[in-house]
Each structure stands twice: as structure tokens, then as C-alpha cells.
Amino acid sequence: MKILVVGSGGREHALVWKILESKRVSKVYCAPGNGGTAEIAQNIPISVGQIDDLARFAHKESVDLTVVGPELPLTQGMVDHFQKHGLGIIGPSAAAARLEGSKIFAKEFMQRHAIPTGPYLQTDSYPEARDAARSGRFGYPLVIKADGLAAGKGVVIARSLQEAEVALEQIMQERTLGEAGKKVILEKFLHGEEVSFLVFSDGTHALPMVPSQDHKTVFDGDLGPNTGGMGAYSTDWILSPGVTQQVMETIVTPTLRGMAAEGNPYRGILYFGLMLNGNDVKVLEFNARFGDPETQPVLYRLQSDIMEVFEGMLEQRLDRVKLQWRQGCSLCVVMASGGYPGDFEKGQEITGIPEAEALTGVKVFHAGTEFKNGHLLSSGGRVLGVTSRAETLSSAIRLAYQAAERIRFRNMHYRRDIGKKGLKKEKIMAK
Ligand code: GLY
């Protein structure tokens, strides 16, 4: 089979790498790809927004299946377009991708189907939003979300009324996020532990992946501004079997049933951003795709042939597909460019990846990298995802950081505490 992966991040490098493990696959293209995908597949210089060009390419090269990484083309109807032209593709329709594309659609959907989520107000009126912030009805910190896609910048956690007023002014009046900020959601801040719970869905059946936890802020101790994700780890005990069953029964199944009942069956990868507080689980957000960087540690634990899963999704028989996962833990430490998540440097030469990968149980996934004149250079904010696999979380942490220390590029930075929060739980589980 010939496969096209759309995207250019660490998630897409991990996908290309995993797809290439399959004996059914003879060729993988990645559009536009990065330095890592260039080493193992063929990069195609078409950007993710050029849906027509991607479809023409898939047609011309007789691509059997396209796998879409990022949300933007999904919300713009890439899957609908490919299907109209008889091209095989994994991902939700534009109507189904609204679960990520519109935070208001997602909240209203959850209300319609009694899916647990926090209380909120939605509005397109700046005075109404400001008055609600002033009334303190949701308390502080207050979560403010732009309705539309905002490249990871659409959520503000305002710790005070002053911060809330600044955020609302910027989003709704100055339109710093463009049309995405035309409407907003004000939402109660939920306390607890965030968990990323992803499923493969064929519209009726959901096949869960192993759970994972992201680290969103740039600095250790969950401090500093939010990023796309500075690291993630995966291990089974992030969710107990009982809570996993509860999530499947009260969240995943009603979501798939609700989408199907509303005429928009969800076929693709569905990411449930959950907040866990004891046995109470609520949905913070949906994403219509694999997470980044969660995909890197999650796929590093997947033993099964991912093409079998994709075929099961296309043929709507996921109930007959069984997934095999490696026991133990996996962890990904993101190495970022100087300045990220603000303006960042590019073009820095990267060394040490072969030395890092010489360690057993280490795989370095590229994100913002490119080859120029035979040199590997940084080309994005998040540059590499150093990913490890080990029996315990503590050994996965040690291994990933040992590998990261072998890698160099000027002004690189990375968090030193990825997975640390899980260590306490690991000790409890070991008892
Ligand atoms: N890591 C969060 C996301 O992929 O949206």
C-alpha cells in the first residue's frame, strides 16, 4: 500500500515511523514533512492547507490511504473532499471535526447528550462576557476560550478579574485571534489531573489507546506560558480500569452515539481532554486528531500493526480489531528552540541524535527540523521529541534525559520534570 501522511510535526514523524513498520506498506509520503520524515519517507512540498493539491497528488501517485495529522485541514473539509473524489482517508468529516473546531459546538453537544463537562457561558457580546467576568459567577481562576481554532493560543486561564478583562478585550475587541475570537466561552476552572484519552473510532465502535499526560507550559513546575506541549508520558495506571470503563460508558460511547444520532458519525481519531478528580471525570475539550506530543509515547508503546487499525476504521469493523500494547512506560521530552513559545530562533545545527538513539529504548522524533546542504537544522519552535520506553516511569525518565543530554543545538531548552508528577502515583501503584 502507498500511504500519505499530512503534517510536519513530531506526531507525523511518529505516524510515518509506525506506518513503515507494517508489512502491508510499500511507500510512505509525508506532506510537507520534516527532517525526520525525509530520512525514512518521501517528503512532498505541499502544505497542509492545500487540500486540492494534496488530493491531486494522492490521485496521481495512486495513494491508497491518507492519514491527516493536524486539525486545520480536517475542519476545512479535507476528508469530505478526498471521499468525494474516491480517495481513502483517515479522519473525521468537517461536520464531525466541529468537536474541535468550535468550542461552543462541543459544549452544546455535551449538554445535549449529558456528557460530563464544567459549567460555562457562551457569548458573542463583549459587554456580556465582561459582566460575567466581573460578576465572579464562575470564580477565579476563570477559563476563557475562543470559540474557533487559534493554533493553541485560544485558551486563557485568567487568575484575576484584571487578567480576564485584558484577555476579553484582546480576544473580542482587538481580535488578536481573528474570527476565532468572535465568540467566547467563559468556563469554571476545574481542578484535578489532566489526562489525554484517545480512541480510534469507526463511527460506531471506539478502540481506546493507552492513556497519556501532556505538559503544556514551557517551564518546570507547570509555570510560564502555554506551548503546544513540552512533553508527555504514557502508562496504563494513569487511569484505573474502573475509571477507564467509566470514561468509556459516560463519555466515549455517548459521544459516538450522539454524533451518529445527529447525522455526523465520528470516524477518525478522537482525543478526549479529561479532568480527573478522584472518580469524577469531566471533558475539558475534544480534539479531532492525534495529540502532539502524546502520539510519540503512545505509538512507541503500540505493538500492533497500525494499518490493521486503519483498515478496521475504514471498513467499520473496529469491534473486531484487538490492540496489543507494550507494558511499562514511555515518555517524550520535547527539545525546543531558544525563545519558544514566543519568537524563536531557526537554522541552528543539531548534533547528537545518533548518539541519543544508540541507547536501547530511545527514539528521537523530529518536529521542527529540516536538512539543508546535508546539515540537520532547527526550523520550528518544537524541534525534537526524545522518546524513551522502559519498565517503570522512573527508568523511562532517566533514559529520556540521558538521551537528551547527548543532543545539542544553540539555545535549545527543555523541561527537566517531564513525568515527575507521575512518580508519586507510580510509588502508590507499586505498593
Ligand atoms: N498536546 C495537546 C494537543 O495535541 O492538542
Which atom of ligand 1 is the closest one to the Cα of 293?
1
Cα(382) to ligand 1 centroid in Å equals 13
pLDDT of residue 12: 98
Average pLDDT for 48-65 = 98
Give me the pLDDT at residue 233, please: 98
CA–CA gap between residue 243 and residue 423 (Å, rounded): 20
* Mean pLDDT of the region 15-37: 98
Mean pLDDT of 220-237: 94
What sign results for the dihedral spanned by CA atoms 261, 262, 263, 269? Answer: negative
Task: Report pLDDT for 157.
Answer: 93
Closest Cα to atom 5 of ligand 1: 291
d(CA 10, CA 165): 35
Write out pLDDT tens, residues 119-133.
999 999 999 999 999
- pLDDT over 90 for what percent of the chain? 96
pLDDT of 326 higher than 80: yes
Residue 6 CA, ligand 1 centroid: distance in Å: 16
Q: Is 351 helix (H, G, I), strand (E, B) or coil?
A: strand
What is residue 342's three-state secondary structure? Answer: coil
Reported as a single tens digit per residue, the pLDDT across 255-314 is 999 999 999 999 999 999 999 999 899 999 999 999 999 999 999 999 999 999 999 999
Contact, 277 vs 194, CB < 8 A? no
**Residue 139 alpha carbon to ligand 1 centre in Å:** 26
Return the half-sphere exposure (C-beta side, CA atoms, 13 A cut-off) of residue 303: 7
| Nearest to 274, CA basis, from 301, 238, 302 | 238
Q: Which atom of ligand 1 is nearest to the CA of 152?
A: 5
Cell reading at 21:
513498520
pLDDT number for residue 431 = 72
Tell me what pLDDT residue 151 has. Answer: 85
Q: Is the pLDDT of residue 430 over 80?
A: no
CA-wise closest residue to 262 among 105, 90, 77, 72: 105
pLDDT at 425: 83
pLDDT tier, 206 (very low <50, low <70, confident <90, very high otherwise): very high
Mean pLDDT on 353-360 = 98
What are the two backbone dihedrals, phi and then psi, of residue 75, each rounded to the nearest 5 degrees?
A: -70, -20
> How far is ligand 1, taken at its centre, from the CA of residue 373, in Å?
32
CB-defined site of ligand 1, < 6 Å: 214, 229, 287, 291-292, 294
Checking if the pLDDT of 400 tops 80, the result is: yes
State how far the Cα of 308 lies from the Cα of 8, in Å rounded to an integer: 24
pLDDT tops 90 at residue 153: no
CA–CA separation, 9 and 393 (whole Å): 25
Choice from 75, 214, 283 to test ligand 1 binding pocket (greatest atom count within 8 A of CB):
214
Span from the CA of 159 to the centroid of ligand 1 (angstroms): 22
For residue 358, count other CB atoms closer than 10 A to its CB: 10
- Mean pLDDT over each residue of the chain, to the nearest integer: 97
Ligand 1 centroid distance, CA of 59 (Å): 30
Set of cell numbers at residue 30:
509525508
- Residue 211's pLDDT is 98
Mutate to test the pocket of ligand 1, among 227, 294, 295, 298 (most ligand atoms within 8 A of CB): 294
CA–centroid distance, residue 61 to ligand 1 (Å):
31
Going by pLDDT thresholds of 50, 70 and 90, the confidence category of residue 235 is very high
- Cα–Cα nearest to 44, from 12, 89, 81, 76: 12
Ligand 1 atom having least distance to the Cα of 229: 1
How confident is the model over 155-177, as a mean pLDDT? Answer: 96
